[in-house]
Amino acid sequence: MRFSFAIQTLSSDIPSKSIKKSEMKIYGVYYSQLIFLNYVLEKYKVIRKQFGNIQPSDIDYFKTILSEDRVLTDENDVLPFNIDWIKNCRGQSKLVLKPKSTEEVSRIMRYCNEKRLAVCPQGGNTGLVGGSVPVFDEIVLSFMLMNKIISLDELSGALVCETGCVLENLDSYVRERNLIMPLDLGAKGSCHIGGNVSTNAGGLRLLRYGNLHGSVLGVEAVKADGTVIDCLKTLKKDNTGYHLKHLFIGSEGTLGVVTKVAIHCPALPKAVSLGFFGVENFEIVLRLYASAKSSLGEILSAFEMADNDSISSTVQNLKLPNPISDYPFYVLVETSGSDETHDAEKLTRFLDKEMESGLIIDGTVTSEPAKMQTIWNLRESIAGAGLIDGYVFKYDVSIPLANYYSLVPLLRQKLGSKAIKVYGYGHVGDGNIHINVTVPKYDQEVCSMLEPYIFEEVAKLNGSISAEHGVGFRKPHYIHYSKDVTAIHLMKQLKQLMDPNHILNPYKVLPELT
């Protein structure tokens, strides 16, 4: 089992009512240090739309649907739901609702639609593009209490569960029954399956099991007007008309609220081995990928890379061990199969061959769970390590492999001493690189040097400005770098059809709707 990145849960950090604001901590950071987040609206120059304002009578109505303890209005209780994981976005919501059933979600949505009250659906709040937190006073609809497993067909692997189940809990549950979840990510200890579906999360197993458009068998969702859409099938094949479930996969809470998920869980691999290698340059990373695909074939389950700054920052900032010495680039290769001796031998043969060829300078191969965990933990912790430096500009792009790493040196040159570090790491097997730029604190000048420059460069290279984290609040005005005007128009028409009052997750995904 891999470690989770140590993300504090929302509830553990919620301050008690008696505590002074200056002493309050959100995600382990003092409130006073979060004051800069007040500037989020100024930073992004967004204007509140003509939604209704929450009245005391609305709160009273919600209390008739939910028990009183599931209607949060106290400023201290609501604050953590307003702040995103990278502390870039801070909303101003005054109300958090915690439904326990689809019926409650439906009644809430019907009422909000009638009153034109805007809603921000929130899962584990680990999203990295500001989509999970309100911008103004949208009502936060939190799914943390919708966390029941409904059924598991151990033969077909079809798992049906409520939207707020934490990914890691689901993985532990199905592992006990010789299955695994088809996705895995560093945020697994906190993210919800509904959040994963709503973002079409990728992660570390995508190379092997494909993306959620393939693994999700069905969803139940609630439309903006409260209508429950039942597409909760567990069949692998069902060609009766339009595949509506896909509308909810990756639409980031703008087309509907996902309330239940049916997902296909593959068989638990009997043998897993992991290699961690040091190499001289990025060209070699690509040559190793080609070689791994051909030598390891069907047992290759992950091929990840990280540059030196990614690993050294993580080692230094989080005091984690690096099992090998210092190298310009690192490659992580995982195999998953059914025969331990055969699979480990294959990986060792690959290592021997490529050490002899000179592509790999140093490396370690292991099948020991504790050692594999140490290596995965190092890789998964890169995302959070940069936050220790102050603030991180995060870009999540896919670029055809020949130019996969090309933006990192370009950005280093462009930013010079304005950045503490610029580093690149990611899912080579999926053509997805994460570029992180760390600075002491959020800086508008650095932001303007990065955006839209980075998106222009990605477009020139025929890439996508978001490979897995989505568009959220941070990128709607850049979506045209990856979507043609006709596609954006159709997306707007779909939004109009599904949510005519635009109350669901406003200011997110789509550029200005009017």
User: Is the peptide bond prior to 452 cis by the omega test (within 30 degrees of 0)?
Assistant: yes
Query: Between 171 and 396, whose beta carbon lies closer to ligand 2HG?
Result: 396
Report the residue from 162, 505, 506, 510 that binds ligand FAD according to the rule CB under 6 A.
505
Distance in angstroms (rounded) separating the CA atoms of residues 57 and 157: 46
**Near ligand FAD by CB under 6 A: residue from 119, 224, 258, 449:** 258
Region 168-227 residues binding ligand FAD, contact defined as CB under 6 A: 185-187, 191-192, 194-196, 198-199, 201-203
Report the interhelical angle of 102-115 vs 56-65 (nearest 10°): 160
Residues 327-386 that bind ligand 2HG (CB under 6 A): 382-383
257 binding partner (options ligand 2HG, ligand FAD, none; Cβ < 5 to 8 Å by kind): ligand FAD
CB of 337 to ligand FAD, least distance (A): 23
Distance of CA 331 to the CA centre of its chain: 22
CB of 250 to ligand FAD, least distance (A): 9
Selection from ligand 2HG, ligand FAD, none that 253 binds (CB < 5 to 8 A by kind) is: ligand FAD
Residue 278 interacts with, from ligand 2HG, ligand FAD, none (CB under 5-8 Å by kind) = none
DSSP code per residue over 45-89: T----SPPPP-HHHHHHHHHHS-GGGEE-SHHHHHHHHB-TTS--
Answer for which of 15, 80, 123, 218 binds ligand FAD (CB under 6 A) is 123
- When asked if residue 121 is in the footprint of ligand FAD (CB under 6 A), the reply is yes
DSSP string, 445-469: HHHHHHTTHHHHHHHHTT-BSBSSS
Asked if 186 touches ligand 2HG (CB under 6 A), the answer is yes
What is the Cα–Cα distance from 399 to 467, expressed in whole angstroms?
Answer: 9
Q: Which is nearer to ligand 2HG, 72 or 450 (CB)?
A: 450
Contacts to ligand 2HG from residues 122-141, by CB under 6 A:
128
CB count, 10 Å around CB of 110?
A: 16
Helical ranges in 405-460 per DSSP H: 407-415, 444-450, 453-460
Sheet containing strand 228-231, strands side by side: 149-153, 158-162, 257-264, 216-222, 228-231
The count of other CB atoms within 10 Å of the CB of residue 151 is 10
Q: Nearest to residue 322, comparing CAs of 362, 282, 350?
A: 362
Residue with tokens 């567990």: 234
What does DSSP assign to residue 303? E
Selection from ligand FAD, ligand 2HG, none that 132 binds (CB < 5 to 8 A by kind) is ligand FAD
**246 part of the interface to ligand 2HG, by CB under 6 A:** no
Q: How far is the CB of 73 from ligand FAD (least distance, A)?
A: 20
Q: Pairing mode, if any, of strands 271-279 and 139-142?
A: unpaired
Which partner from the list ligand FAD, ligand 2HG, none does 434 bind, CB cut-off 5 to 8 Å by kind?
ligand 2HG
Confirm or reject binding of residue 419 to ligand 2HG (CB under 6 A).
Answer: no
Site residues (CB under 6 A) for ligand FAD, limited to 380-399: 383-384
- Which residues are CB-contacts of 139 (< 8 A; sequence separation ≥ 6)? 54, 93, 95, 96, 97, 112, 117, 118, 119, 120
Burial bucket for residue 266 (CB in 10 Å: 0-12, 13-18, 19+):
middle
**Interface with ligand 2HG, residue 394, by CB under 6 A:** yes
Q: Are 473 and 44 in contact (CB under 8 A)?
A: yes
Binds ligand 2HG (CB under 6 A): choice among 88, 295, 314, 436: 436
Q: Is 434 in the site for ligand 2HG (CB under 6 A)?
A: yes
What is the C-alpha separation between 48 and 41, in angstroms, rounded? 10
Q: Binds 505, which of ligand 2HG, ligand FAD, none (CB < 5 to 8 A, cut-off by type)?
A: ligand FAD
Member of 96, 257, 306, 407 binding ligand FAD (CB under 6 A): 257
Q: Which residues bind ligand FAD (CB under 6 A)?
A: 5, 85, 120-128, 131-132, 143, 163, 185-187, 191-192, 194-196, 198-199, 201-203, 252-253, 257-258, 383-384, 468-469, 472, 505, 508
Q: Which residues bind ligand 2HG (CB under 6 A)?
A: 128, 186, 382-383, 394, 396, 426, 434, 436, 468
